[in-house]
Amino acid sequence: MSRANTESNRGISISGLGRWHCSTTSVPASGPGAGFLEKLYRPNRRSRRSPLVAFSLASALLIFVPTYSVRPWLREGSRWGPYLASLLAILSQLSGGTEVIIASALLVKGASLGTALSVMLVAPISTIATLRHFQLAGKGKAMTLYLAAAWFVAASLGVAANSIQRFFTVYLG
């Protein structure tokens, strides 16, 4: 990680932070804000394992979980399916496109389109990197409200997608 002093020697300019490039940001050299961006924008070593974990979860879902156990909870007529699936997506901390693998496995097992949509909406919003912003700022209550709002909005959009799909199936099909 390269550090260069700024002209006024008040802080350091961070550049070349791996995947997270932030070229003109100036942070204090000492004090409570020192090293904040280095900690925040450090590439995550676990991000390389995320597709493998999601592929393993999707494979286990497809192989070991029977369809008759998924369909009653997450099918098209179930109003609570998107709420349950988005809650499971928040708890499993999917990121980097791996939520698509899990959502497609749910679709194969008989879940509704709105359920898969809610998983794909809530997973990128509730990653550990996003929640770290709240943790570093020391705002646990704000993080809880953020997670609850993200869960509710994504699941409600999934229910709306199920309703639209049902409208087109029943009334126009």
DSSP per position, 67-105: HHHHHHHHSTT-SSHHHHHHHHHHHHT--TTHHHHHHHH
Q: What does each C-alpha distance from 120 to 20, 34, 93, 170 come to in angstroms?
A: 23, 36, 12, 26
| DSSP H or E stretch at residue 164 | helix 140-170
- Is residue 37 within 8 A of residue 25, CB to CB? The reply is yes
**Position 161 pLDDT exceeds 80:** yes
Cα 68 to Cα 19: distance, rounded to the nearest angstrom: 43
**Position 82 pLDDT exceeds 50:** yes
**Position 61 pLDDT exceeds 60:** yes
**Burial tier of 75 (Cβ tally within 10 Å: 0-12, 13-18, 19+):** middle
Longest CA–CA span in the chain (Å) reads: 69
Determine the average pLDDT of the residues in 1-26.
Answer: 43
Mean of per-residue pLDDT scores for the chain: 76
Angle between helices 81-92 and 67-74 (to 10 degrees): 110
Determine the average pLDDT of the residues in 139-149.
Answer: 88
Q: Which residue has the higher pLDDT, 147 or 41?
A: 147
Task: Give the helix, strand, coil percentages of the chain, each rounded to 5.
Answer: 65, 10, 30
Please report which confidence band the pLDDT of residue 156 belongs to, taking 50, 70 and 90 as the band edges. Answer: very high
**What percent of the chain has pLDDT above 70?**
71
Model pTM?
A: 0.66
99-121 pLDDT per residue, tens: 888 899 999 999 999 999 999 99
Each domain of the chain, given as residue ranges in start order, spans 2-40, 46-170
The pLDDT of residue 99: 87
- Is residue 116 within 8 A of residue 165, CB to CB? The reply is no
- Is residue 2 within 8 A of residue 16, CB to CB? The reply is yes
Token couple for 161: 């997608």
